[in-house]
A = this chain, B = another copy of it.
Amino acid sequence: PAKTGHAASQDEKREFMSIFPDLVRDLTEVGTHSDIPDAQKWFAKVLQYNAVGGKMNRGLAVSLSFKLLATQDLITPENIKNAHIMGWCIELLQSFFLVADDIIDGSKLRRGKPAWYLNDNLGPSAFNDAILMEAGIYKILHKHFAHVPYYVDMLDLFHEMTLKTALGQALDLLSCPPGQKPILKKFTMERYNSIVKYKTSFYSFYLPIALSMYMAGITDRELHRQARTILVEMGQFFQVQDDYLDCFGDSSITGKIGTDIGKGKCTWLSVVALQRASPSQRLVMEEHYGVPEEESIRKIKGLYKELNLPATYRAYEESTSSMIRTHIQQISRGLNHNVFFNFLDKIHKRSS
C-alpha cells in the first residue's frame, strides 16, 4: 500500500474530473438509443448540470482509499481510473438523491446554482431526470465492470445503499413533512441518529470505502462489517458538524446560508435543545422552529446560545473524535488504518 493518503490533491481532482466527459459519452452517445437523439441530448444536459460542481469528496474517496488498501501490483493506472469511474457512480447516486430532495424540500439553490427543477419550468418532471441519473450508474457499471469478479458484490452494494438512503429519507420526512410544522415530539436523539445513519452515512461514508475494498480484493464480511461500523460513526460525527455549521458556521467560509431552522429539520442542535429545554423554552421551539421568518430564526438561535449549545458542541466534537480514533485503532490490521484516519482528519475541525 502507498504511504500517503491525505485529502485529495488538485491533481487528483483534475484527474477525476477529466473522466467525466467520457462517462457522459458512455451514457449518451453509445450505439444503443441512437434512435432517440433528443432524449440523449437531454440526458447529457441533465448530467452536465447536476453531476458536477460539488466537493466530490465521496467520488474522490474511492481512489484515495484504494491506493491505501490495495497491494502494490494492483495500483495500476487502469485500476485507478476504474476507481474514479466508481467514484463517479457515487456522485451520480448523490445527484439522484439531491435532485429529488430539492424538489421535495422546495429548495432554491444547490451548489450555488438554482436547483435543477427550477430550470426550464421543469417542476416535478425533474424527478425523471433524477431517475435517469440513477439508471446511468448501472449502465456505467455494466460497461466498465461487467467482467470483474466483484461485479455482483458492487451491484448488491449500490442497491443496498440506495434502499437504506431512501429509508432514511422516509424517516426524515415522517418527522419533518415538507410544508407542515415539524413534529417535535419525534425529535429524539435516537431518531436523529437513525436518520443520519440511513440517509447520509451509508452512501457517503461506507459506500466509497466498501467499493475500494472490493477493488482491492477485500471481500471478507467481517472486515466489511468493521469498516461499516466505524464509517457510520464518522458519518454521524460529520452530520453533527454539518448541523452545527448550518447554524453557527461562518457563511463566508461555508459558502451557504443555513436553512435548517427555517425548514424545521431534525438536527443535532434541535434535539439537544429539546432535551434541555424548560417548559417555557420548549414553547419557543414549538412556536418558532420551522418558521422561515428572520424573527423566528433569531429566536431559535438565541435559545440555542442560552442553552449553551456551542460549548456542548465543542465538547461533543472533542470526545467523539477521540472515541473514533480509539475505535480505528481497534480495527483489524487487515484494513490499513490510514484509510480511516485520513477520513477523520478531513472532517475534524473543519469549518466548511
User: Residues of A with Cβ closer than 8 Å to B?
Assistant: 33, 35-36, 38-40, 42-43, 100, 103-104, 121, 123-125, 127-132, 135-136, 138-139, 142, 146, 151-152, 155-156, 159-160, 162-164, 166-171, 173-174, 177-180, 194, 198
Interface-central residue, A42, A138, A159, A167, by most chain B CB under 10 Å: A167
Q: Could you say how many copies of this chain the assembly holds?
A: 2
* Contact B129–A104 (Cβ < 8 Å): no
- If the complex has contacts A42-B174, A100-B127, are A198 and B138 also in contact, measured as CB distance less than 8 A? no
Pull 10 A–B residue pairs with CB atoms less than 8 Å apart, ordered by A.
A33-B164, A42-B170, A124-B127, A125-B178, A131-B166, A132-B163, A138-B159, A138-B162, A138-B163, A139-B160
Contact among B121, B128, B171 for A180, CB-based, below 8 A: B121
Q: A43-B167, A171-B38 are in contact. Are A177 and B125 (CB under 8 A)?
A: yes
CB-CB under 8 A from A152, the residues of chain B are: 146, 151-152, 155
When A151-B152, A179-B121, A179-B123 are in contact, do A131 and B33 touch as well, CB less than 8 Å? no
Contact B194 A35 (CB under 8 A): yes
Closest to A142 in B: B156
The minimal Cβ–Cβ distance linking A52 to chain B, given in whole angstroms, is 20
Per DSSP, are chain A's interface residues mostly helix, strand or loop, or mixed? helix
Min distance, Cβ A100 to any Cβ of chain B, angstroms: 5
Q: In whole Å, how far is A232's beta carbon from the nearest beta carbon of chain B?
A: 11
